[in-house]
């Protein structure tokens, strides 16, 4: 298996700095997702690894070899683009085999690889069809198969599911996950969809304004975001961000509305000094309706509820700030007026409001 290392890579288009001193190490067999909003530089970084873009500074290593100025064809990679880019006049079989035939791979080897990829992707019955006879999901699987037959050391995916509807995205996402588990190949995958990132990745590199803000496993990103940006961007339901007052002590305390909460198990990066305003991040599933007599609760006023099937998202105002809670539908039914809320204090994060960094 082949690893990828990016060292000090920067890239500008005119006055616009697209990538700024990127360092990234992808271990052999790892599934790394580049996640971020549009314009953050994730596709440019992928293209730089692929050799489609040359960095202004820095180096790219694939399999321990410096490939910064090596042609894409010599990097040992295979790439799946956002558009399927299938040859419309060729059958699926010929689309899969075209790159191999151009490289003069022996015919029996071509047939063996095509048969292997079509079985892996369950498209054997489609081999004699043309692209216009396929559904979107089938075309995407053919595009993935065209990369698989290359038997590359590294597979690069540039938002491959963005043209599919929600159901097909889920089905194809499962197929890509299964492929990674069966092949054990090194994969880099670009998306702005955090559900894709969280479900597929071994590690996620969250990008913002041309920088990698945090590179960590999905659980760590979700539970211990390094910055307010990461906390707000990662998660299918947006985290609650509220201004609160932090007071040092043993334990430190936060004051929010009518409630005071001890942070006796919070892992501060440095001991808090002096009263100060901080930003509290708590995810909706870590907010609950308080039980009778429960300590450490706070009053809030119900705004409205949003039924979501298995859960209900309930919205409240608390100390003039809006907050959501992910509740059991039965508990949320008919919820109105003033209620008391409780927080799972083991799952909160605190941030400096000026720098946005975790405290």
Q: Any idea what the CATH number is for the domain that residue 124 is in?
A: 3.40.50.300
- Does residue 226 fall inside a structural domain? yes
**Per-residue pLDDT tens over the stretch 89-142:** 999 999 999 989 988 899 999 999 999 989 888 899 999 999 999 988 889 889
Phi, psi of 200 (to 5 degrees): -95, -35
Q: What is the pLDDT of residue 222?
A: 95
Please tell me whether residues 340 and 255 are part of one structural domain. yes
The SS3 of residue 97 is helix
Please tell me whether residues 16 and 116 are part of one structural domain. yes
Which residues 6+ apart lie within 8 Å of 308 measured at CB? none
Q: What is the pLDDT of residue 303?
A: 96
- Does residue 256 fall inside a structural domain? yes
- Does residue 323 fall inside a structural domain? yes
Cis check for the bond before 356: say yes or no (omega within 30 of 0). Answer: no
Q: Where a domain ends, among 233, 265, 299?
A: 233
Q: Which residues of the chain have a pLDDT value below 70? A: none
Please tell me whether residues 312 and 178 are part of one structural domain. no
- Does residue 189 fall inside a structural domain? yes
Please tell me whether residues 67 and 193 are part of one structural domain. yes
- 343, β-bridge pairs: 287
Please tell me whether residues 291 and 164 are part of one structural domain. no
Give, as one character, the DSSP assignment of residue 41: S
Phi, psi of 142 (to 5 degrees): -65, -40
- Does residue 358 fall inside a structural domain? no
pTM of the complete model? 0.91
The SS3 of residue 277 is strand
Q: Where a domain ends, among 208, 233, 258?
A: 233
Q: What is the pLDDT of residue 93?
A: 95
- H helices then E strands: how many in the chain? 9, 20
Please tell me whether residues 179 and 317 are part of one structural domain. no
- Does residue 90 fall inside a structural domain? yes
Which residues 6+ apart lie within 8 Å of 7 measured at CB? 23, 58, 59, 60, 61
Please tell me whether residues 82 and 32 are part of one structural domain. yes
- Total number of domains in the chain: 2
Please tell me whether residues 229 and 265 are part of one structural domain. no
Domain boundaries, position 171: 4-233
Q: Where a domain ends, among 218, 233, 248?
A: 233
**Per-residue pLDDT tens over the stretch 316-332:** 999 899 999 999 999 88
Please tell me whether residues 193 and 68 are part of one structural domain. yes
Q: What is the pLDDT of residue 352?
A: 94
Please tell me whether residues 43 and 163 are part of one structural domain. yes
Domain at 260, CATH number: 2.40.50.100
- Does residue 357 fall inside a structural domain? no
Please tell me whether residues 222 and 274 are part of one structural domain. no
- Does residue 13 fall inside a structural domain? yes
Q: What is the pLDDT of residue 326?
A: 95
Q: What is the pLDDT of residue 336?
A: 92
Q: What is the pLDDT of residue 298?
A: 92
Please tell me whether residues 229 and 254 are part of one structural domain. no
Distance CA 44, CA 210 (A): 9
């Amino acid at each position: 298996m082949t690893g990828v290392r990016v060292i000090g890579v920067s890239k500008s288009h005119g006055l616009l700095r697209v990538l700024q001193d990127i360092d990234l190490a992808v271990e052999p067999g790892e599934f790394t997702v580049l996640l971020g909003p549009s314009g953050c530089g994730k596709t440019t970084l992928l293209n730089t690894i692929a050799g489609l873009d040359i960095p202004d500074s820095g180096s790219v290593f694939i399999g321990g070899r410096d490939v910064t100025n090596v042609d894409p064809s010599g990097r040992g990679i295979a790439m799946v683009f956002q558009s399927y880019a299938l040859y419309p006049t060729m059958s699926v079989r010929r689309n899969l085999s075209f790159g191999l035939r151009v490289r003069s791979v022996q015919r029996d080897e071509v047939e063996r690889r095509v048969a292997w990829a079509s079985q892996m992707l369950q498209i054997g019955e489609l081999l004699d069809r043309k692209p216009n006879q396929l559904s979107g999901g089938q075309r995407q699987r053919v595009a993935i198969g065209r990369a698989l037959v290359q038997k590359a050391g590294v597979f690069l995916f540039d938002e491959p599911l963005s043209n599919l509807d929600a159901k097909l995205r889920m089905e194809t996402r499962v197929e890509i996950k299964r492929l990674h588990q069966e092949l054990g190949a090194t994969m880099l995958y670009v998306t702005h969809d955090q559900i894709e990132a969280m479900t597929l990745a071994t590690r996620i590199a969250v990008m913002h304004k041309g920088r990698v803000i945090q590179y960590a496993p999905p659980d760590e990103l979700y539970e211990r975001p390094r910055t307010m940006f990461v906390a707000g961007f990662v998660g299918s339901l947006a985290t609650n961000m509220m201004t609160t007052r932090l007071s040092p002590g043993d334990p430190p305390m936060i004051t929010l509305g009518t409630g005071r909460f001890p942070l006796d198990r919070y892992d501060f990066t440095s001991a808090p000094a002096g009263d100060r305003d901080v930003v509290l991040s708590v995810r909706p599933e870590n907010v609950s309706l308080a039980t009778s007599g429960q300590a450490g609760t706070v009053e809030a006023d119900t705004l409205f509820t949003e039924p979501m099937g298995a859960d209900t998202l309930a919205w409240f105002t608390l100390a003039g700030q809006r907050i959501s809670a992910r509740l059991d539908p039965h508990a949320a039914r008919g919820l109105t007026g003033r209620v008391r809320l409780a927080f799972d204090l083991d799952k909160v994060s605190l941030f400096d409001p000026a720098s946005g960094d975790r405290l």
